Structure 1
Amino acid sequence: MNPSTLTGLFLFLAATASAQVNYTCPNPAVYFTEYHGPFSAGRFNLSYQRPPAHCRTFNLSDVEDTVTRVKGQISDPDLSRLFENAFPNTLDTAIRWHGFAANNSEEELTFVITGDINAMWLRDSSNQLQSYLSLLKADTSSHSLASLYRGVINLQSRYINTSPHCNSYQPPAESGVEPAVNSFAATDVVTPNVTNTTVFECKYELDSLAAFLEVSYNYYNATEDLDFFNRYQWVDTVQTILNTVVNLTAGTYGPDGRVLDQPYTWNRTANSATESVSNLFRGNPVLGGTGLIRSYFRPSDDSCTYQLFIPANMMFSHFLGLCADIMQGLKSPSASGLASTMRSLESGIRAAIDAHALLHVSGNTTIYAYEVDGYGSFNIMDDANIPSLLSAPFFGYDVDDPTYQATRQLLLSSSNSYYMRGPVLNAIGGPHVSFGYAWPMASIVRILTSSDDDEIRGELRQLVSSTDGLGMIHESVNSWNVSDWTRPWFSWANGLFGQMILDLEDRKPYLLSESYQ
């Protein structure tokens, strides 16, 4: 059995360490709610949460070496333990299957689950691998970080070409992994029609398509492996993405006032407004011709109030432009024309953001709106999930730009209706979990976009103290009750924490030698 197939044997079923002794691997959904020694011996006495070595889904020596090295740089025992648990969490628990396509023995595929949901999100899987981006290098072997990246890009290509409006998907048939049951999506009515045997959920989110461009560029930039993009379906996938988003630049009405047919509608019977789409499943009216691309849902999987969702347009345009450079170098007869189209669309979206998303507030202050409709309506807020306005520097926006800084100042204050405050954690939340729950992810993004040592120290103290002693990054935490949190196993957030610590090791290593007790 080749190594990539071995990694497809899900770690938490059972593993045999020798011919005589069988070891049962823990169920992580339960394991991460329990306390395990040895404890950190810091003030918060954080639990050790890595599964046994034989139960980990994918082992890479570069990651293990990084854990050992960085732990040696961190003086605070609780911060060290949190990094040790969080950084390897995707490899430890979320590489559900890694193998090859049934119709091509060279085409690698990687099925990455989010953690406690046994499905693959385009956005999450791209970000889960991004946690290890600093370690990525060219490697043709099938048991390597580069192979995981290639497998994610190839599998995302398959998903997008089949169902481009969807956000999360079932395991590929080759894996032998049973499709997951999504009781919420079982009765969804989606146009175009999809099936739950291949799609886990079909919420159209512009950032999901941007995530494919992001993971593609990240792989190319780190490996310079241009030939990979000449193979398989990458060019066709970019064409599918362009066709999809161009159709979603149209507004609700035509020039003569006629209501236009929509390329996508989504209907779910739900008891929450964020799980439904108004106006016969089409959303609030949107002005056509703005140059912005519509998104029915946010990266939180909550429906947009106004579908010209600015953070996703920022992200999409940024990575579209970067991927145009990949496209330009390919052998496909259509590559040159596609590259030109990509660059034109990128510049058009950037101009449209400046034309429609800049709001003048008190005095001469200008900020970015979170959502707009093109008619003059706008939404001033931010959500913890990336892409967010707070994370705009991740997408080519200057962190020192006065407009970004003014937006950031508003978002990190009570003027943002979803900035949660309390003695446990002060951070941006969102309607997905609702009032009072701050998201550690937003606190991590705050660190990654800050050069202020005291601001970073304050966020690190909060992160270390807000895990309820479990030593894992949760989805959200009640700002007033450290024991009230959501999702024990959220791989992306854990990886992002590790990514942030590596960033501090590079930018501000002295902060890792301080105490956060």
Structure 2
Amino acid sequence: MSHHPVLQAVIREVTGQLTSHPQVAEAFQNCYPNTFDTTIQSCADGSTFVITGDIPAMWLRDSAAQVSPYLPLVQDHPQIREIIRGLIVRQAQCLLLDPYANAFNQNPSGPGHKQDRPEPSPWVWERKFELDSLCYPIRLAHQYWTLTGDRSVLLGDFRQMLDVVLHTMRTEQHHEEESPYRFERPDPLLPSDTLEREGLGSPTAYTGMVWSGFRPSDDACTHHYLIPANMFAWVSLGQVVQWAEEVYQDENLAFEARSLMHDIQQGIREYGTFQHPEFGKIYAYEADGLGNQLFMDDANVPSLLSLPYLGYCPADDPIYLNTRRFILSKHNPFYFQGRFLQGIGSPHTPGGLVWPIALSMQGLTSLDRQERLALIRQLVSTTAGTGFMHEGVHPEDPHHFTRPWFAWANSLFADFVLKSLQLGDWDEVPTDLYAQSALQTAGSRKDHL
């Protein structure tokens, strides 16, 4: 159990509501405090550095997602509030150092992928440009500001960061002609670890959307207009508009953000949809503006599955529901089914592994109580006796998994359980529905990858 008394109180409250479901209670007790207890490092300058778990670097995406379960605590608990505030400060510092980087070191000590071309700054662990890396800091700051009303965190470096973010997005609308960004990894383990055409990426034409070199899986895009990432950018820019009007009184910032929103939305409508013969109108995962589209979904967020979670559309939006049916079916090449699991995986983990992140996201965006309960049952019965979520899990053998310490997956599971309780999902659930799994009683064998 966490050593922090506030987190202990939350754990006691939640597990008290789940006394008839010990597997779920145990998994929550392990997963909820995992980020707080193992990955958060307070820095001398007052900022907060959050590692991913078993990798000692801070991803902008992961760090924002990892602290999500603690956001409801920021109003009443100053220590939690300062930790989140410190992370917002640190993320702004990172983007000012390099808006094209996805992962950073705590100090300019130089670890990471130093063989990449061009060689990144010693502050940078990895310089894969992922559009969502510009969005997650905005999302986290907006959530924090909404809950606390703290305007001070939006000033100084953060305000300067917004200019850098918008400039980078505007530049990457015209990647072929204007972008300074190149990325090559000599002798990559997988082709998806580098970009073709001497680091420029595969060809694209202007669409109004923002180019992204890599997906939130850290894998190279096939076509570089990543639709869910652009939807995330559209949401983030709307939050910038709100700040421009309510905090900064900056008409130029509001105009620029609105202009980008308009361009992105037009691009999504023109290049990001498809009339599927079985599912109706659906969203593509990627497009290039040259007539090519990719139809799939990846476990990492932003994903097509996560659109209501990100705030792009309601969970009952017709195009989203059509898309959801498509990506949760055999038509999605990264939807895997086995005896113990079924859900979305990722080409990032070859071998047909289902990602707990995707199962939690499926639950967080579901309108169906039975679906949510079934997903929690899958999640808690496939931890291989560890009590924690993992990166990818084999649907035929949950003892075959990747990354035993992956804080994002633990935090998202905690978010899912909290939402499920808020929705009243556990009222009158039979106690034997979550009976001890034979998989877990078999022991905690960890022949993970």
**Structure with greater proportional helix content:** 2
Secondary structure class of the residue paired with 1:189: coil
- Of residues 444, 457, 462, the one that matches 2:378 is 462
Count of matched residue pairs: 430
For structure 2, the 5+ residue unaligned runs are 436-449
Q: 1:109 touches 1:151 (CA, 8 Å); kept in 2?
A: yes
Distance in 2 (alpha carbons) for counterparts of 1:452 and 1:487? 30
Of the three residues 393, 396, 401, the one matched with 1:480 is: 396
Residue-by-residue CA offset, 1:225-253 (whole Å, 9 max, x unaligned): 123323x311110001111111100153x
Q: What is the CA distance between 1:397 and its match in structure 2?
A: 0.9
Tell me the distance in 2 between the aligned counterparts of 1:220 and 1:138. Answer: 14
**Which residue pairs with 1:41 in the alignment?**
none
Superimposed CA distance per residue, residues 372-393 of structure 1 (whole angstroms, 9 cap, x where no aligned partner):
0011101000000010000011
Partner of 1:216: 141
Taking the TM superposition and a 5 Å limit, the aligned residue runs for 1:270-285 are: 270-285=188-203
2:115 alignment counterpart: 187
2:25 to 77, 80, 95: 80
Asked if structure 1 preserves the Cα contact closer than 8 Å seen for 2:336 and 2:345, the reply is: yes
Which amino acid is the alignment partner of residue 227 of structure 1?
S
Separation in 2 of the partners of 1:512 and 1:375?
Answer: 53
| Alpha-carbon distance in 1 for matches of 2:332, 2:29 | 33
Give the deviation of 1:440 after TM superposition.
0.8
Cα deviation code 1:406-457 (max 9, x no counterpart): 1100111111000011012111001101131110111111111112122122
Q: Is the 8 A contact 1:460 1:516 kept in 2?
A: no
Q: What does residue range 99-248 of structure 1 map to in structure 2 within 5 Å?
A: 99-101=43-45, 108-137=46-75, 141=78, 144-172=79-107, 179=109, 181-182=111-112, 185-190=113-118, 194-195=120-121, 197-230=122-155, 232-248=156-172
**d(CA) in 1 for partners of 2:252, 2:67:** 30
Relative to structure 1, is the Cα distance of residues 363 and 120 closer, same or farther in structure 2, using a 3 angstrom cutoff?
A: closer
Please give the per-residue CA displacement for 1:322-343, whole angstroms capped at 9, x wherever unaligned.
13212323358xx331122112
Contact 1:399–1:405 under 8 Å retained in 2: yes
Matched-pair identity in %: 35
Q: Could you say if the C-alpha distance between residues 138 and 340 of structure 1 is closer, same or farther in structure 2, counting changes exceeding 3 Å?
A: farther
Tell me the equivalent position of 1:3.
none
- Contact kept, 8 Å, 1:216 with 1:323, in 2: the verdict is no
Distance 1:77 1:411 in 2: 32
Structure 2 SS opposite 1:420:
strand
C-alpha change, 1:234 and 1:454, in structure 2 (3 Å) is same
Letter in 1 for 2:203: P
Q: Aligned equivalents of 2:197 and 2:275: distance in 1?
A: 30
Contact 2:120 2:126 in 1 (8 A): no
Contact kept? 1:115, 1:491, Cα under 8 Å: yes
RMSD: 1.8
Are 2:246 and 1:316 aligned?
A: no
Q: 1:186-212: per-residue Cα shift (whole Å, max 9, x none)?
A: 21003xx532x2111110000011111
Q: Whose Rg is larger?
A: 1
1:137 and 1:456 map into 2 onto residues whose CA distance is 29
Residues 130 and 356 of structure 1: CA distance in aligned 2, closer, same or farther (over 3 Å): same
Tell me the amino acid that sits aligned with residue 99 of structure 2: P
SS of equivalent residue, structure 1 residue 367:
strand
SS at match of 1:265: coil
Q: 8 Å contact 1:251–1:285 — kept in the other structure?
A: no
Question: Structure 1 CA distance, aligned partners of 2:110 and 2:63?
Answer: 17
Scaled by the length of structure 2, the TM-score of the pair is: 0.92
SS of equivalent to 2:62: helix
Do residues 351 (structure 1) and 266 (structure 2) align? yes
- Contact residue 293 and residue 308 of structure 1 kept, 8 A: yes
Number of the residue aligned with 2:256: 341
- Deviation, structure 1 residue 99: 3.3
SS in 1 for 2:434: coil
